[in-house]
Structure 1
Amino acid sequence: MTRARRLLAAGLTVAALQITPASAADGPPYGVVTWGASADRMGEGVADRGYRMVVHTSVAGRDLRIRLSNAFGDRPVTFDSVYAGIQQKGPELVRGSNRRLAFGGADSVTVPVGATVYSDPLPGKLAAGTDLVVSVHSPDAAGPVTGHWMAMQTSYLTEGDHTAEESGARWAAPIGSWAYLDSVSVRAAPDTGAVVALGDSITDGWQSTTDLNRRWPDYLARRLQKTRTTVKGVANEGISGNRVLTDGPGQSALNRLDRDVLSQPGVRTVFLLEGVNDIKSHTGVTAQHMIDGYREIADRVHAAGKCLVVSTVGPFKGWSEWDPAAESVRQEVNRFIRDSGEFDAVTDFDRILRSPYDPERMLPFFDGGDHIHPNDKGMQAMADAVDLDSLECAGD
């Protein structure tokens, strides 16, 4: 067992604090997001089904809370059994770590259509870099499931309620998605904040290695844990295929900004890496359209009292939708991002990823194979390029 798992096992097994449960309808009165995943519409819900979901934490803290989402449901959904524990291996949990979560003091909660609910705080410590396992069961799920399709992480399904079991024997069906769970937060050290990465499949981690947490926000989280920065939390709000301006795979960045990003507890800075899907779609999107979208995001982030770091759009020559017209838009957009001065900071992922021999193409060493998504090395290079001081958001 790793040191992080031993620490969390001890913390989750012993109720160190006595806490009066908060109402499940309340927002978080404290806390910093330690894990997040953007909500999207998935398949149809099935009654009497359980989900055992593995998530990887960023910032350490106490008194974890989870957030369950029914953002895309067309009817209320009830969860009658919800547990949090630590992964031992696969669906098996560390012995003694699995504990029931409550909602307003009750064992069950019904999430209204379009709503989210927070659990009560679960006393105990949660270490950074922990493979936390949240198990949920719904007796009445039906209609659209709210979740996250491309988790790049193996989770598990079962029929019936086996959420309290630490054995993985009843959780034999692996899945690559998260269902209903969209956020985990903790009470972190004073003055601790978080950064939320808003993006598409590059941020979501496609072409990184499944189950090893090698998306670029994961590498960034590990960097943050090793430094004296006060920003420690990282939430990955990428959606594969996502666009800035229009809905498609997931709601657009503009339409999901409040729910997926600004509502997360403890957020200090938003990191935006989006645009390539708008540009390569050939739907008539111009550089000015993109600039207007970035400006609207900046206005809303700043109105919420947070900072915005924006990355240039990376190279994608060799991808089937690339052509000189799309490349021209990308270059104009990147000039605006670099030179406008309208953002709190800029990270130049284009410069990091591009080949010095053909700047319209990704460096082969970083190419995941499809000429648009970086591999593990590319993901790490992206995270290493982020100026950690730019995430602090000291304000004016």
Structure 2
Amino acid sequence: MTLFLTVLSGPALASVSQETGRRHHLITWGASADRLGEGVADRAYRLVVRTSAGGDNLRIRLSNAFGDRPVTFDSVYAGLRKSGAELVRGSNKRLTFDGARSVTVPAGQTVYSDPLPGRLAAESDLVISVHSPDAAGPATGHGMAMATSYITEGDHTADESATSWTTRTSSWYYLDAVTVRTSASTGAVVAMGDSITDGWQSSTDLNRRWPDYLSRRLRASSATDVEGVANEGISGNKVLADGAGQSALNRLDRDVLSHPGVRTVLLFEGINDIKAHTGVTSQDLIDGYREIIKRSHDAGLCVVGATVGPYKGWYEWDAAGEAVRQEVNAFIRTSGEFDGVADFDRALRSPYDPERMLPFLDNGDHLHPNDKGMQAMADAVDLADLSCSTT
């Protein structure tokens, strides 16, 4: 397979403005941004991500959303992984920004690279290598990647060997989206959620989060033209309150509505609001869901609601929280306000005690599914719902 056939000339915006109605840019990978420690000058990151949809003209989005000062990236490359931090020989190509090799991202902002001509296959292990000469202050990234990436001091972004990339990390730094150009009839779904969507307790480096299983189902199916999947889960995230990342309400624009080619939001959040014992009622959560639905509909997107899974046996479970969960799930299933329903509760619960997860699907903490549970969730999604239309 050949990746990135030629070197780019010309800025991203010019390329996008010349697109015809037959093709468009589509998100093929995403990860929610959050504050991630302190930036370090003259450090490079080799970030390994798994794409969903295939296409050409790859672009990446660099994020300084949580920075308090500008950060410069003076060398950025994209390639294919061979194994570990080693790349497929000849695949590593420099990315540019408005035709320049260097870009400065203002505090609180994001920047897209120019498109890189050449085709990127679906389900690729894509490697983005970035170096910053001046990073300092709050760094932006995604803390719980459930995948191994690599760090080195100095600029080794052009290297295809793994020699200099000796430090491992389980986080993604500064990168929050990858897009490709594909048929305009092809869409994407954004999975918006918390630690379960983020993949906690799934197998590291094996891409067994439920959005990964969903991506593989979509690739094998002719029932829908949705192929892109972006995982916008943050461990501990809530619908209503900031804390573990900005709340779903406060990050909706950046993590969902700003991405190209998105057709549907698959919303699976609420358990952290419920079990936190802060007095959140079912009506509070329903009001939050309604705001997400309205804002997504206003942007032309559909919203599939996923029921909140069982958690009896988790240390924060109590009867009052369970009552809220049941009321919220009744709304998701029966209100008709969502464009579709993914009944994750039904997929995960025990037939003998529906307040508990089926032990076969439980990783052992009674809240987070294991790999089999992740697959059961993905299998519970009606793929036809992801092709819905608000018109």
Q: Shared fold by TM > 0.5?
A: yes
What is the aligned partner in structure 1 of residue 11 from structure 2?
A: 21
CA deviations over 1:335-379 (Å, ceiling 9, x no partner): 111111111011110001000001000000000111001000000
Alignment of 1:217-236 (within 5 A): 217-228=211-222, 229-236=224-231
What is the aligned partner in structure 2 of residue 102 from structure 1?
A: 96
1:344 is aligned, of 305, 325, 339, to: 339
How big is the shift at 1:227? 1.4
In structure 2, the CA distance between the partners of 1:109 and 1:23, relative to structure 1 (3 Å rule), is farther
User: Is 1:11 equivalent to 2:3 in the alignment?
Assistant: yes
User: Is 1:374 equivalent to 2:369 in the alignment?
Assistant: yes
Specify the SS of the correspondent of 2:3: helix
Runs of 4+ in 1 over 3 A off after TM superposition: 26-30
CA deviations over 1:198-246 (Å, ceiling 9, x no partner): 0000000001000000000000001111112210000000000000000
Give yes or no for contact 1:51–1:136 (8 Å, CA) kept in 2.
Answer: yes
Give yes or no for contact 2:348–2:373 (8 Å, CA) kept in 1.
Answer: yes
How big is the shift at 1:20? 2.8
Give yes or no for contact 1:19–1:123 (8 Å, CA) kept in 2.
Answer: no
User: Is 1:130 equivalent to 2:120 in the alignment?
Assistant: no
Give yes or no for contact 1:39–1:148 (8 Å, CA) kept in 2.
Answer: yes
Alignment of 1:206-225 (within 5 A): 206-225=200-219
User: Is 1:325 equivalent to 2:320 in the alignment?
Assistant: yes
What is the aligned partner in structure 1 of residue 61 from structure 2?
A: 67
Give yes or no for contact 2:8–2:114 (8 Å, CA) kept in 1.
Answer: no
Give yes or no for contact 1:28–1:118 (8 Å, CA) kept in 2.
Answer: no
Letter in 2 for 1:391: L
Specify the SS of the correspondent of 1:377: helix
What is the aligned partner in structure 1 of residue 183 from structure 2?
A: 189
- In the alignment, structure 2 segments of 5+ residues that lack a partner are none
CA distance in 2: counterparts of 1:65 and 1:252, whole angstroms? 27
Give yes or no for contact 2:293–2:303 (8 Å, CA) kept in 1.
Answer: yes
Letter in 1 for 2:265: V
Letter in 1 for 2:319: P
CA distance in 2: counterparts of 1:27 and 1:99, whole angstroms? 24
Letter in 1 for 2:12: A
Specify the SS of the correspondent of 1:188: strand
What is the aligned partner in structure 2 of residue 4 from structure 1?
A: none
Give yes or no for contact 2:301–2:389 (8 Å, CA) kept in 1.
Answer: no
CA deviations over 1:21-75 (Å, ceiling 9, x no partner): 2259x99974000000000011000000000000000000001000000000000
Give yes or no for contact 1:314–1:354 (8 Å, CA) kept in 2.
Answer: yes
Give yes or no for contact 1:195–1:231 (8 Å, CA) kept in 2.
Answer: yes
Alignment of 1:142-291 (within 5 A): 142-228=136-222, 229-291=224-286
In structure 2, the CA distance between the partners of 1:61 and 1:40, relative to structure 1 (3 Å rule), is same
CA distance in 2: counterparts of 1:77 and 1:242, whole angstroms? 26
Give yes or no for contact 2:8–2:116 (8 Å, CA) kept in 1.
Answer: no
CA distance in 2: counterparts of 1:44 and 1:233, whole angstroms? 32
Tell me the percent identity.
72
- In the alignment, structure 1 segments of 5+ residues that lack a partner are 1-6
User: Is 1:45 equivalent to 2:22 in the alignment?
Assistant: no
What is the aligned partner in structure 2 of residue 307 from structure 1?
A: 302
CA distance in 2: counterparts of 1:185 and 1:22, whole angstroms? 12
Specify the SS of the correspondent of 1:301: helix
Q: TM-score, normalised by structure 1?
A: 0.95
CA distance in 2: counterparts of 1:101 and 1:392, whole angstroms? 33
Give yes or no for contact 1:42–1:149 (8 Å, CA) kept in 2.
Answer: yes
Give yes or no for contact 1:145–1:180 (8 Å, CA) kept in 2.
Answer: yes
**RMSD, aligned α-carbons:** 1.4
What is the aligned partner in structure 2 of residue 113 from structure 1?
A: 107
Give yes or no for contact 1:28–1:265 (8 Å, CA) kept in 2.
Answer: no
1:140 is aligned, of 129, 134, 139, to: 134
CA distance in 2: counterparts of 1:18 and 1:159, whole angstroms? 27
CA distance in 1: counterparts of 2:11 and 2:336, whole angstroms? 45
